[in-house]
Structure 1
């Protein structure tokens, strides 16, 4: 049963991606920082809430390497840490602040056995004055380039706990040497120690851990991380079965043509793919503004606003907006890229990608499409995009226990040679090995899950349409932009699992949300149905502003899961009365 207790992770596991905010009032309380909510928040969406293991790691590193009145954040490479430092220096009120970056490395495996549990890695630690912590956290949130909670657990073990154990062992060794020194002087004293007294226990513990991992399906052997990443890239580009390369018709249609997996890049989060796409384009093309077409997820706009020369925001993302953009381009507007979601979150609008690509070719700007909501089994956007971004955290994973993203370079893009050269030189694989192993396992039944979610979602839409309390429903199959969705829809694809809706009376919406027996919190694409008051959760500080883009403050968003349709429909009906 879904928990209705504030702050409980969803699912209730150590590396959960979502967190329970069970009522409208609790969501507002969270946004306003009210103690009755925040005191119970021991977890949260990883880019917004720094995991307890990461906090512990940062505290340990600050204690060891920090200076008075400093804090730190840990990033998965020295290069990323330097990007964070540049961001803090740009926006800090104190331009004389000293921002330090420390590179630390974990030791490589020494024996063949150690390759299963140990991996050599390096990190970048950014030390900054305590009052600059909000800026450092902004970078963490916007860029999506922070370390994962699994990586932090490994770093705690390798950089902190093992060091403490080594220190204790050194102390014990010194004591033992002192005893031996005394014994050598006093022949009558004999040692009864046994050099093998712990050997049996260690072997039993190793066997027990192996049993637990196999028993509960945990795939944690670091030796297979490289293979897992290769399988993921092949799965994303259409080569589902690595050994036989046999594809179902549904899978064949997902990309239109088979991509080379070398053009698929893995990232530590979906947001980091958008950040890096923007970063790469700024490096290879003239330094100009971008266009954000349609109302996007909040941090996409933050990236375009805060990194680089700025953004033209066309929040309605409709045909009129596209006509106006075309006129501006005809009159000399120059842009580096157009970013859009397909369809958009939360209004589920589909942009006219054919027209956008036509303008991109004519006026020399790149087209970057975030296909997370539609997902590549349902829609085929490759012919109309130079870069495709996606959050693998969502339906590709489904289990809500790993953060990940993918970026695809279109080999037919005129920017491909420059982009490929830049990626060959600059791209770092920052996707943590253990996260890759979890994601590979989670995504094995991706095709089957997507088809079931698509089918159930259509039934939920029909239920909402039949209810007189509902004012508006946002879903690709009933949107005014359906014709643009159908132009890119895969032959066997559906319309996705994300549905937003409004009640005629806002109080009815609040009552429904508070009563409905579903999981309630951030994220989407989970294997369980997940609801949230989207505008309150994502845009609480700008509720008046977002209304100009047709985003109502009372909007409710539901991400459909794998429950049996009849059971889910009954849960919804019970709260719609």
Structure 2
């Protein structure tokens, strides 16, 4: 199926729980950021931390109608503890947030073995606040990444407000199926009933499968989570080539699946890591090293005593940090960095960062989403490794998830492990785990193909006279730092960014290419966006000082036939070039 060019259409096409959304032109992206009706009114979907899914909106309205007070809005979270954090955030940033309250709701557990296939007990926290506080609550939803997923919303809507109707329908269906089988297949009523009961049950559960879109029975959710932790553990804990010496020099136990934590989004993994540091080192600031994805910096700014932002993420930045540490002008709890960074694809000097962390006693948190743990091995240099499993690990762009790994060889491991043992709450929804486990089974094969295609795609743009710069680990001044952590069989990832000499060429190229266009990355299909416009529209002048141009285009390469993809991109370049003839 060809990529939709319809504003607001889901990406992938016709996907109920899609992660991305179509913004097919540069003008539509600007219109979305400016809230123009011709764009906003057509949005059927959106990135889940920014756009609250229609199913969740319907659930919220039902809860507001049944439990809300006049002028109140509701925001739904997967537990009371999460709702409490949202309440605290609203109170902190609102002038009149003292009236925020929390309602706890539950759905019943399965009553028998059969029901375990499609019934699961859930406990949620609903944060009620005055409608004036909605923008603040929405900030919490976006930054923390721990709102309920659309699949959880779908389940809650059915269990809390539609169950009686659904139960009657299913009971009637089962009776009808029994009668039909009995009448059609056997002259003997008693014999027929005993011989067709299994068929009736099979058809009944087939209806459940089709109606509610189950990938697997819900009773396998715990096994799916265990499989995911083991899969991540196996990929993330391999000693190879350049880093083998460092691995040998470290003492302690190897990584275990119990050191891998699953979360509802990659941003929630970062949020969770930061929450841990706030508890362990409450009076220390954080360092954001390198220009990060927007919400990472928001988390470090809005929670805790402050953040030192070293936006260039280069050796001079490390010099500046070391000076401050030597002079005792700063005491930091942790340093957060991306490896490589999004969207400039810079790789930090993790070896030097690790040395500084050991000397000055702070925690290193590395987000390896863009590189992914098949291509790079960052665990020896980090105390915590976070990742968005929404991206290439899943690939299908139909489920949100994140992971956090504790390094068992870290000097901070005992403190961190105690915190997670006592404080960590599993809020990763069961159905999402089932989808993610299925999606990620061929993660390795997909990653290899994407890496190979991307190398040739990058070459296409480096040869074009229209392009002023291509951002990719192989072309960066920090390439040696990437190569130091690159695995033996790893590549350089599927993400790159391009900058045209002429901004009009960038617009023409973007509007011409017949590809999926919208937020996210790491998808099984190539996905493009005018990154600065989409992620930083309100601060374009500010981000320019960190080397992020307002006309930057980011491209995430997928699994399409390489020649077809190159032809598609070349057509876009040709159309842009034709403007000058």
**TM-score (structure 1 length as normaliser):** 0.90
SS in 1 for 2:50: coil
Report deviation, 1:434. Answer: 0.5
Query: Match for 1:485 among 479, 482, 487?
Result: 482
Query: Match for 2:274 among 260, 278, 281?
Result: 278
Within the alignment, does 1:521 sit opposite 2:518 as a pair? yes
Alpha-carbon distance between aligned partners in 2 of 1:18 and 1:452, rounded to the nearest angstrom: 22
Which residue matches 1:392? 389
Report deviation, 1:415. Answer: 1.1
Structure 2: give runs of 5+ residues left out of the alignment: 181-196, 248-252, 575-581
Report deviation, 1:223. Answer: 0.9
SS in 1 for 2:492: coil
Which residue matches 2:78? 76
Which residue matches 1:18? 20
Alpha-carbon distance between aligned partners in 1 of 2:89 and 2:200, rounded to the nearest angstrom: 49
Q: What are the within-5 Å matches in structure 2 for residues 217-366 of structure 1? A: 219-238=215-234, 259-332=255-328, 333-366=330-363
Alpha-carbon distance between aligned partners in 2 of 1:196 and 1:367, rounded to the nearest angstrom: 60
Report deviation, 1:310. Answer: 1.4
Which residue matches 1:2? 3
SS in 2 for 1:549: coil
Report deviation, 1:121. Answer: 1.1
Which residue matches 2:473? 476
Q: 1:248 to 1:212 in 2, by over 3 A?
A: farther
Alpha-carbon distance between aligned partners in 2 of 1:281 and 1:329, rounded to the nearest angstrom: 18
Report deviation, 1:248. Answer: 13
Which residue matches 1:188? none
On the 8 A contact 1:237/1:258 being kept in 2, the answer is: no
Q: 1:346 to 1:544 in 2, by over 3 A?
A: same
Structure 1: give runs of 5+ residues left out of the alignment: 170-192
Q: CA RMSD in A?
A: 2.5
Q: 1:420 to 1:248 in 2, by over 3 A?
A: closer
SS in 2 for 1:379: coil
Report deviation, 1:457. Answer: 0.5
Within the alignment, does 1:460 sit opposite 2:466 as a pair? no
Alpha-carbon distance between aligned partners in 2 of 1:155 and 1:139, rounded to the nearest angstrom: 21
Alpha-carbon distance between aligned partners in 1 of 2:465 and 2:88, rounded to the nearest angstrom: 53
On the 8 A contact 1:238/1:258 being kept in 2, the answer is: no
Deviations along 1:114-168, one digit per CA (max 9) or x if unpaired, are: 00000111000000001101111110000000000000000011111125668x9
Q: What are the within-5 Å matches in structure 2 for residues 11-90 of structure 1? A: 11-12=12-13, 13-90=15-92
Q: 1:213 to 1:158 in 2, by over 3 A?
A: closer
Alpha-carbon distance between aligned partners in 2 of 1:204 and 1:272, rounded to the nearest angstrom: 43
Alpha-carbon distance between aligned partners in 2 of 1:216 and 1:514, rounded to the nearest angstrom: 37
Which residue matches 2:539? 542
Alpha-carbon distance between aligned partners in 2 of 1:448 and 1:19, rounded to the nearest angstrom: 26
Alpha-carbon distance between aligned partners in 2 of 1:550 and 1:317, rounded to the nearest angstrom: 11
Which residue matches 2:117? 116
Q: 1:290 to 1:239 in 2, by over 3 A?
A: closer
Count the aligned residue pairs.
544
Q: What are the within-5 Å matches in structure 2 for residues 360-439 of structure 1? A: 360-439=357-436
**TM-score (structure 2 length as normaliser):** 0.90
Which residue matches 2:579? none
SS in 1 for 2:84: helix
Q: 1:217 to 1:458 in 2, by over 3 A?
A: farther
SS in 2 for 1:446: helix
Alpha-carbon distance between aligned partners in 2 of 1:397 and 1:258, rounded to the nearest angstrom: 25
Report deviation, 1:197. Answer: 5.8
Deviations along 1:481-524, one digit per CA (max 9) or x if unpaired, are: 00000000001100000010100001000000000111000000
Deviations along 1:449-506, one digit per CA (max 9) or x if unpaired, are: 0000000000011110110000000000111000000000001100000010100001
Which residue matches 2:188? none
On the 8 A contact 1:239/1:258 being kept in 2, the answer is: no
Q: 1:144 to 1:43 in 2, by over 3 A?
A: same
SS in 1 for 2:74: strand
Alpha-carbon distance between aligned partners in 2 of 1:441 and 1:72, rounded to the nearest angstrom: 33
Report deviation, 1:239. Answer: 6.8
Stretches of 4+ aligned residues off by more than 6 angstroms: 214-217, 247-250
